[in-house]
Amino acid sequence: MVSLVMLAVLVLLPTTIATVTTARRNCPNTCGSEVIPYPFGLDPSCSLPGFNLTCAVDKNTNESSLMLGMGNSILKLSQVYVDANFNLYVNTILSYSTKMIPGVRDYSIHWEAPARPFAISGSSNMSLFVVGCDVTASLYIGNSAVQVGNCTVVCAEAQIMEKLPVWTCDGMVGIGCCSIGIQVNLRAFTLNISCIIDSPRPKQVQAFIAYNWNPTFRPIDAYSGLLERYVAQLDWSIPYQPNCKHAIEDKDNYACVSDHNKCQDSPIGGYLCYCQSGRGNAYIDGGCPNPPAAPVYDSLQPRTNCPTSCGNMSIPFPFGIELGCFAKPHLYLACTPGTTILLVLKMTARKLVTDISIDDGILQVREVSGPGDFMAGSNTDSTLYVSSGKSGVVKWAIDNMTCEHAMNKSDYGCVSTHSGCIDVTDDTTLKHVGYRCKCSPGTKIIRDLTVLFTDTNECHQPDKCRGICQNSF
């Protein structure tokens, strides 16, 4: 005879796409001390299909319990809770007690998920544990012949078992206990238990699903059958589409209804909804707060009032020392506080910048650590800096694209009139590094920060022109 401490059997819902129910106001959302977040609910009109729960109250103790399922196929939930990142967990007890009668060798237990959205996940680090004596357990996917795993449990005499220490049950063959790791998703399983040694007396075998790090037991419990009830986790997802890509295309039934949501594929199939900020409920309208404004790292033009110097050294754009003042993150420089020792490149505090040349595309640096490892230890994009072959001189690039490629991009950096693009290469390897901008011949920078260019009037320079001089540019 098989006594089921908790067994839920329910035929899976049809595979047709269900219409998504929108969360309604004034829906009950508590059962005792449990708060029930949408898409779960205590009424079909207050939950998504498959997520309807029942709040049952014990007449004798007046304690409330959440039940999942329908009719005679109901699973009692031990807990439904939400963590700080709105990961919603559904915990239950899946435990079975089998009384093995002399002369009967094989016993079978079958389980199916209480509704289509639920499954035991192969990525949840859970196992099936078997406690008893002289039996082999085999776990199968659904009603199929595909085996998840098997394990065997043996026992010594009770006097010996009583003296054995408490231990963790984690082996395929164990004394008093064995385990089968669950590494596949299970919406249903069949557990076969077989005697390997016939006994003249009935014996009790217990099987339960729990996290791998939970179960410890006394070997003598294999005889007494006195075990703590361990909690198993049921994973869930919105099951009406196989993944986010298909779900987003099915706009009428897409469950992530709040603005600022993000969709994530579920390991059991289907998808889950989260808020971009990591807080809130993406399954309800207005459930996600507005995300904070992202800091501006890339700027085609610097913001107003950007600092233009550090100590006695000017800082021309595309370099900068504050957010919104540099073109790319690798062009950020840190102004050393309390000194006039110029700037420190953010990529490594060992390198001091002593001069920046926009026209020549180089940085003059101090404290060079040595040839070959000038930018060693960089924790940002140091690939956009390359040694020019001179100690203390670094060539720089805005981006790693070629000029030809960059000119066709919306974030092309050479935006000023009379500016041109120059491809930057490694002087040693001749490998392409990226591109930078330079004033066209006959022009000069008139404002360091904005890299604006103006014409140079050669007629005002002595010895540039003989006879009547006319500036043509």
User: Average pLDDT, whole number, for the chain?
Assistant: 79
* Per-residue pLDDT at 188: 94
Same domain, 161 and 280: no
Q: What does the alpha-carbon distance between residue 286 and residue 276 come to, in Å, rounded to a whole number?
A: 13
* 92 located within any domain: yes
* 302 located within any domain: no
* 195 located within any domain: yes
**Per-residue pLDDT reduced to its tens digit, 65-118:** 899 887 556 788 887 777 766 678 888 989 898 888 888 999 999 999 989 999
Q: What does the alpha-carbon distance between residue 349 and residue 366 come to, in Å, rounded to a whole number?
A: 11
Same domain, 134 and 22: yes
Q: How confident is the model at residue 339 (pLDDT cuts 50, 70, 90)?
A: very low
Between 82-86, 97-101, 257-261, 412-416, the lowest mean confidence (pLDDT) is in 82-86
Q: How confident is the model at residue 6 (pLDDT cuts 50, 70, 90)?
A: very low
- How far is residue 224 from each of residues 39, 105, 151, 165, 444, measured CA to CA in Å? 42, 21, 21, 16, 92
The rounded percent of the chain whose pLDDT value lies above 90 is 30
Q: Is the pLDDT of residue 189 over 50?
A: yes
Same domain, 222 and 345: no
Token reading at 175: 């004394």
Q: Provide the residue range defining the domain that includes 282.
A: 242-292
Same domain, 185 and 314: no
Q: Is the pLDDT of residue 391 over 70?
A: no
Q: What does the alpha-carbon distance between residue 321 and residue 267 come to, in Å, rounded to a whole number?
A: 44
* 229 located within any domain: yes
- Cβ neighbors of 209 (< 8 A, separation 6 or more) are 94, 95, 120, 126, 127, 128, 129, 182, 230, 232
Between 291-300, 350-359, 382-391, 445-454, the lowest mean confidence (pLDDT) is in 445-454
Q: Is 382 exposed, middle or buried (0-12, 13-18, 19+ CB in 10 A)?
A: middle
* 58 located within any domain: yes
Q: Is the pLDDT of residue 302 over 80?
A: yes
Q: Is the pLDDT of residue 282 over 80?
A: yes
Q: How confident is the model at residue 469 (pLDDT cuts 50, 70, 90)?
A: low
Q: How confident is the model at residue 134 (pLDDT cuts 50, 70, 90)?
A: very high
Is the whole model's pTM more than 0.75, yes or no? no
Sign of CA dihedral 267, 268, 273, 275: negative
* 340 located within any domain: yes
* Per-residue pLDDT at 240: 92
* 298 located within any domain: no
Same domain, 406 and 322: yes
Q: What does the alpha-carbon distance between residue 378 and residue 244 come to, in Å, rounded to a whole number?
A: 37
* Per-residue pLDDT at 378: 44
Same domain, 281 and 353: no
Q: How confident is the model at residue 227 (pLDDT cuts 50, 70, 90)?
A: low
* Per-residue pLDDT at 110: 93
Q: What does the alpha-carbon distance between residue 159 and residue 179 come to, in Å, rounded to a whole number?
A: 24
Same domain, 414 and 265: no
Most confident of 150-154, 332-336, 451-455: 150-154
Same domain, 175 and 321: no
Q: Is the pLDDT of residue 33 over 50?
A: yes
Q: Is the pLDDT of residue 50 over 80?
A: yes
Domains of the chain: total? 3
How many C-beta atoms lie closer than 10 Å to residue 145's C-beta? Answer: 8
* 465 located within any domain: no
Between 221-230, 262-271, 376-385, 387-396, the lowest mean confidence (pLDDT) is in 376-385
Q: Is the pLDDT of residue 382 over 70?
A: no
Same domain, 377 and 281: no
* Per-residue pLDDT at 265: 96
Same domain, 5 and 123: yes
Between 86-90, 209-213, 288-292, 367-371, the lowest mean confidence (pLDDT) is in 367-371
Tell which of 191, 215, 236 closes a domain.
Answer: 236
SS (H, E, C) the chain: CEEECCCCCCCCCCCCCCCCCCCCCCCCCEECCEECCCCCECCHHHCCCCCEEEEEECCCCCCEEEEEEECCEEEEEEEEEECCCCCEEEEECCEEEEEECCCCCEEEEEEECCCCCEEECCCCCEEEEEECCCEEEEEEECCCCCEEEEEEEECCCHHHHHHCCCEECCCCEEECEEEEEECCCECEEEEEEEECCCCCCCEEEEEEEEECCCCEECCCHHHHCCCCCCCEEEEECECCCCCHHHHHHCHHHCCCCCCCEEEEECCCCCEEEEECCCCCCCCCCCCCCCCCCCCCCCCCCCCCCCCCEECCEECCCCCECCCCCCCCHHHEEEECCCCCCCEEECCCCCCEEEEEECCCCEEEEECCCCCCCCCCCCCCCHHHEEECCCCCEEEECCECCCHHHHCCCCCCCCCCCCEEEEEEECCCCCCEEEEEEEECCCEEEEECCCCEEEECCHHHCCCCCCCCCCCCC
Most confident of 72-76, 149-153, 306-310, 442-446: 149-153
Q: Is the pLDDT of residue 322 over 70?
A: yes
- For residue 223, the number of C-alpha atoms closer than 13 Å in the C-beta half-sphere is 11
Same domain, 109 and 227: yes
Q: Find the mean pLDDT for residues 186-199.
A: 92
Tell which of 199, 216, 236 closes a domain.
Answer: 236
Same domain, 113 and 30: yes
**Per-residue pLDDT reduced to its tens digit, 434-450:** 999 988 776 555 443 33
Q: What does the alpha-carbon distance between residue 464 and residue 391 come to, in Å, rounded to a whole number?
A: 35
* Per-residue pLDDT at 214: 61
